[in-house]
Amino acid sequence: MADCVSRSFGERRVLSAASLRAVPGELRALLGRSGAGKSTLLKIAAGWMTPDSGIVRLNGNARLIWSPATLARLGVFYLPDTGALSTALSVGAQLAMLAERYPAGMAPAQAMERLGVERFATTRPDVLSGGEKRRAEVAAIFVRRPTVLLADEPLRGIAPIEQERILQAFRALAAEGCAVVVTGHDVSALLDAADRVTWCTSGTTYELGAPHLAKQHEAFRRDYLGATRV
Amino acid sequence: MRGPYLVQWHLLRRGLFSWVIARATLAMALLLTGNPPWGDGGPVGLGVVVLTTALGLIEVERARERVLLANLGVALPNLILMLAAPALLGEIALMVLLP
């Protein structure tokens, strides 16, 4: 999706030559320390931030600047760490909007039932717990049925059982052909669920391959995993 | 082609609400300064449309709705148009109906 992109914030260069691949049918974990540029890379890939250099490709089209709405219409769904649902409308109303806009996806009632949020159909997301809100957002993703899902720290601040449920849902999306990219620091859970690992460090990215190969990568172990048992 | 009516209706309703708030506030301010409550046409109407659109955009931010709208494929120019449309029509109606 993103090829050799760079991005600076004032004097600070966050990304210098970072790339991100999103492959249909694959769940990719984008890992790296805080401040390594994972979220910036995801925002660039989703059209929410313009890179200083480099390009973003989708379906054979390459551009320096994409609008988020254009990418969304082409099949990209962006799930930021701050959430993807409005606090002004009920979960059901927002899923109905997505269903009307993208009729090829799962029916809202079915998606809510799948994620166990059907009782929150008339509830606004801001009154839900972190895990419930995340599950409602994943239900929205099933309604949209995107070709590319870019999820920024979707497991942050939620219980392990909720994390498991969300990762299962992402695995199901990948099995249906969606290209899923997930960032986060829940290393064990992400490595268990992922097909591929991309390591973001020092402004660039490294393709580490399958999780078992990533775990054997010396620099990745030394500089990121540390003594974590994964 | 079938349009995303639920999104359009949501944004138009928000634009209408913002226009009513902006107009009511302006009418009170004009009355307090001894002016007619509806202003004197053109420039005031244009100001109300701009103010209404700004209020609508602030509300979109406050409700953390930008990501939802982008995921729905609503580009910023379309968003601005839908938020401004009720105010624009309302101001034209006021200009036609009021002396």
Q: pLDDT tens digits, residue range A83-123?
A: 999 999 999 999 999 999 999 999 999 999 999 999 999 99
A191: pLDDT strictly greater than 50 = yes
A228: pLDDT strictly greater than 70 = no
**A97 to A143, B55, B69, B80: CA distances (angstroms):** 10, 23, 10, 19
Which among A112, A83, A78 is positioned nearest to A95, based on CA atoms? A112
B91: pLDDT strictly greater than 70 = yes
B85: pLDDT strictly greater than 60 = yes
DSSP 3-state of A159: coil
Helices within A27-127 (DSSP H only) = 38-46, 68-73, 91-101, 108-114
Q: CB atoms < 10 A from the CB of A143, how many?
A: 26
pLDDT at B1: 38
Q: CB atoms < 10 A from the CB of A230, how many?
A: 13
DSSP secondary structure, A183-212, as one string:
E-S-HHHHHHH-SEEEEEETTEEEEEESHH
Query: What is the interface size between A and B, counted as CB pairs within 8 Å?
Result: 71
Q: Which residue of B has its CA nearest to A70?
A: B73
The pLDDT of A2-19, averaged and rounded, is: 90
Q: Do A69 and B75 touch (CB under 8 A)?
A: yes
A229: pLDDT strictly greater than 80 = no
Q: Which residue of A has its CA nearest to B6?
A: A97
* C-alpha angle A82-A127-B79 in degrees, rounded to nearest 5: 55
Give the pair of three-digit tokens for residue B41.
């046409």
Q: What percent of chain A has pLDDT over 90?
A: 85
pLDDT 10s digits, B11-31: 999 999 999 999 998 889 888
The pLDDT of A39-56, averaged and rounded, is: 94
pLDDT at B2: 47
Terminal Cα distance for chain B, rounded: 41
Q: Do A98 and B72 touch (CB under 8 A)?
A: yes
> Residues A60, A65, A70, A72: is their CA dihedral positive or negative?
positive
Token pair 């895990």: residue:
A131
pLDDT 10s digits, B35-50: 887 777 678 888 899 9
pLDDT at B3: 54
pLDDT at A51: 93
Q: What is the pTM of this model?
A: 0.91
Give the pair of three-digit tokens for residue B95.
């200009």
Helices A130-144, A91-101: axis angle to 10 degrees equals 20
- Using an 8 Å CB-CB cutoff, list residues of chain A that contact chain B: 47-48, 67-70, 72-73, 77-78, 80, 82-89, 93-94, 96-98, 100-101, 140, 144
